Every structure is written in structure tokens, then in C-alpha cells.
């Protein structure tokens, strides 16, 4: 059932879809969409071409923001240190934490980790059985095949035309 699935987008897909002015595509399957706190922080902490659009979209759709221990620790470290803590992969690790929380529910909640970064495609993130790792490109093709999107390629092209440097890596390869 669609209602039993939660989509957790990473920063990359949010940025790409914001460039394409297509964030609502995340809602097309009818799945619960949640934004992980660390990811929201990553995409809105600095003024970028998409930061305001993403923040406003999350607020307007009243999307739940999933709290993680990782983000709380990050905030604590940031408040206590003169030098901000490193940020590499924190959004992905926070999503991994959220997916693990889903596995502890009874019954476990199915989660879809939507990613874009080519490093994640190659990474061996440990995700529970109830989790799926899906690239932005694969998600767009899924929407197209279901008839919820006229052209996945057009969304990608729109993002690129509007300034997004979209990954050319295809996951799965082929």
C-alpha cells in the first residue's frame, strides 16, 4: 500500500527537483514524504538558488520533519565548538538512522531513500530490509512509467537548463 511507504529524499534530489520547479513530483506516488532534519538543514542553511524554494515547499506542504539523534549531536557540537563540525555525508547518515528507526516499528515501515550523489550509488550503506535506495533518475523513470509524469528526461533537462549540474552517473548502471 502506498500509505505504508515513507519517502526520505536526500539533499541532491531536493535540489535537482527545486531547480526543475518539480518538487511536487515527490508526492505523486501517494507515499508519506518526510524530510530528515539534517537534510533540511543542509539544503536551507545557506542562501542558494534553491534553499528558499525547498524551505517554502516543505512548510507549505506541512511535511513532517523527522528528528534524528545525529542532527541533535551536530547542533550541540556546532554550539560548543569555535570551528563548525565536519558536514560530509551527515544527511545520508541521518537518513540511515531514520531507516533504522522504521525497522524497529511493529510492523516495520517501508522506506525509500531517494538519493542523487554518485558517491552514494557506489556506497555500501547499511539499510534494513524494509528500506530501498533509489536514485533521482530511477524515481523519475518510475513516475513516467506509471503515467504520473510525461517525461523524466524533460525534468532532468529543465533542472540542467535552470543551472543544476545533474549527475551523469546512472544507478543501477546500464
Domains of the chain: 2-161 (3.40.50)
Residue 173 burial (CB count, 10 A): 7
Q: pLDDT value at position 84?
A: 62
Predicted TM-score (pTM) of this structure: 0.87
| Strand 32-33 to 35-36 pairing | unpaired
pLDDT tens-place values along the chain, 174 residues long? 566 899 999 999 999 999 999 999 999 999 999 999 999 999 999 899 999 999 999 999 999 999 999 999 999 888 887 666 667 788 888 998 998 888 888 887 888 999 886 555 555 556 667 778 888 999 999 999 999 999 999 999 999 999 988 666 554 554
Helix, strand or coil, per DSSP, at residue 95: helix
Give, in order, the Cα–Cα distances in Å from 87 to each of 19, 70, 83, 84.
23, 11, 12, 9
Residue 151 burial (CB count, 10 A): 12
Amino acid at each position: 500500500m502506498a500509505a505504508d511507504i515513507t519517502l526520505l529524499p536526500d539533499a541532491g534530489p531536493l535540489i535537482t527537483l527545486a531547480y526543475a520547479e518539480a518538487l511536487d513530483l515527490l508526492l505523486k506516488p501517494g507515499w508519506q514524504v518526510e524530510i530528515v532534519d539534517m537534510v533540511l538543514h543542509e539544503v536551507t542553511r545557506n542562501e542558494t538558488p534553491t534553499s528558499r524554494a525547498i524551505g517554502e515547499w516543505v512548510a507549505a506542504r506541512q511535511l513532517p520533519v523527522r528528528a534524528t539523534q545525529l542532527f541533535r549531536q551536530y547542533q550541540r557540537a556546532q554550539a560548543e565548538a569555535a570551528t563548525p563540525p565536519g558536514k560530509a555525508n551527515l544527511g545520508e547518515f541521518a537518513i540511515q538512522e531514520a531507516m533504522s528507526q522504521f525497522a524497529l516499528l511493529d510492523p516495520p515501515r517501508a522506506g525509500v531513500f531517494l538519493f542523487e550523489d554518485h558517491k552514494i550509488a557506489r556506497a555500501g550503506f547499511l539499510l534494513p530490509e524494509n528500506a530501498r535506495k533509489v536514485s533521482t533518475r530511477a524515481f523519475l523513470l518510475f513516475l513516467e512509467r506509471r503515467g504520473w509524469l510525461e517525461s523524466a528526461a524533460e525534468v532532468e533537462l529543465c533542472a540542467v537548463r535552470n543551472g543544476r549540474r545533474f549527475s551523469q552517473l546512472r544507478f543501477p548502471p546500464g
